[in-house]
Structure 1
Amino acid sequence: MASVLVGQFHARDAEGRVYSVHEFRESQPDEVDGKEPVSTYRLAIGDRVKHLGGEEFELIQGKVKLIREH
Structure 2
Amino acid sequence: MAAVLVGQFHARDAEGRVYSVHEFQESDPQHDGLAGSALTTTYKLAIGDRVEKLQGDEFKLIQSGTIIVREPETTLAS
TM score, norm. by length of structure 2? 0.80
1:53 shift after superposition: 1.2
| Distance in 2, Cα, partners of 1:46 & 1:2 | 16
Aligned residues: 70
Larger Rg: 2
Partner of 1:32: 33
| Distance in 1, Cα, partners of 2:34 & 2:49 | 30
Find the partner of 1:44 among 30, 43, 46. 46
Contact 1:4–1:27 under 8 Å retained in 2: no
| Distance in 2, Cα, partners of 1:43 & 1:15 | 17
Contact 2:4–2:25 under 8 Å retained in 1: yes
The 5 A counterparts of 1:1-70 are 1-27=1-27, 30-32=31-33, 34=35, 36-70=38-72
- Identity within the alignment, %: 63
Distance change >3 Å, CA 33–CA 67, structure 1 → 2: farther
Q: Which runs of 4+ in 1 moved over 3 A?
A: 27-31, 33-36
SS of the residue corresponding to residue 38 of structure 1 reads: strand
Gapped runs of 5+ residues in structure 2?
73-78
TM score, norm. by length of structure 1? 0.89
Gapped runs of 5+ residues in structure 1?
none
Q: CA RMSD in A?
A: 1.9
